[in-house]
Structure 1
């Protein structure tokens, strides 16, 4: 699943690239960081040095980034990848949804699960 948007004549695509669909128990660290890739949708070239925001959508405490952050913004690397800090599971079991955004691209939604 990816999304496209027009950004000043250039269309970008956000592609989930890791960490989605994973599980962790209460108060455990998820095994993988969330990762997304931003590319130019016309030529598939990576978009570098673009801020990408990963924002937690849920209202109950299910997962937060290291440092108890609900939102983090990271820059894409030379290959167009943006990777979050580690995620920590909270008290509540269930699915935690995140929205991934970047200038010039519509949001993409990813999910992880806190097990009972």
Structure 2
């Protein structure tokens, strides 16, 4: 049985891919940002829950495909949610993304645009 979003369960966002990677300006990062949402008490995956990935920077260092600074993706049956492709911008530096889901403590992901 899977927990549903909006229940009284405390949820955990677990990084599942994409954080810590590097790309050169204007290149697409090799992996999307990916998380798994689970019930903190049981470890049960949470399906059909929206997870938001928000860009936490003031300069154009990386954008999601379509020049978006944030995206919301639903979790699948195993609790995974991922972003569309992430493209490095003009400016070199570390980009921080805040990952949020209702009922869970937020997580931060970082990627780096190399100079």
Q: TM-score range by the shorter chain?
A: over 0.9
* 1:64 alignment partner, SS class: strand
Partner Cα separation in structure 1 for residue 54 and residue 111 of structure 2: 13
Partner Cα separation in structure 2 for residue 70 and residue 54 of structure 1: 8
Q: CA RMSD in A?
A: 0.9
Question: 1:4: which partner in 2?
Answer: none
Counterparts of 1:62-73 in structure 2 under 5 Å? 62-73=61-72
Question: 2:21: which partner in 1?
Answer: 22
- Per-residue CA shift, 1:57-107, capped at 9, x if unaligned? 011010000000000000000000001000000000000000000010121
* 1:68 alignment partner, SS class: coil
- Per-residue CA shift, 1:19-68, capped at 9, x if unaligned? 00000001000000000110001110000000000000011010000000
Give every structure 1 segment of 4 or more consecutive aligned residues whose post-TM-superposition deviation is greater than 3 Å. none
Deviation at 1:8, TM superposition (A): 5.0
Q: Which residues of structure 2 form unaligned runs of 5+?
A: 1-5
Deviation at 1:9, TM superposition (A): 3.0
Per the normalisation by structure 1, the TM-score is: 0.92
Partner Cα separation in structure 1 for residue 100 and residue 10 of structure 2: 14
Greater strand share, structure number: 1
Partner Cα separation in structure 1 for residue 57 and residue 8 of structure 2: 34
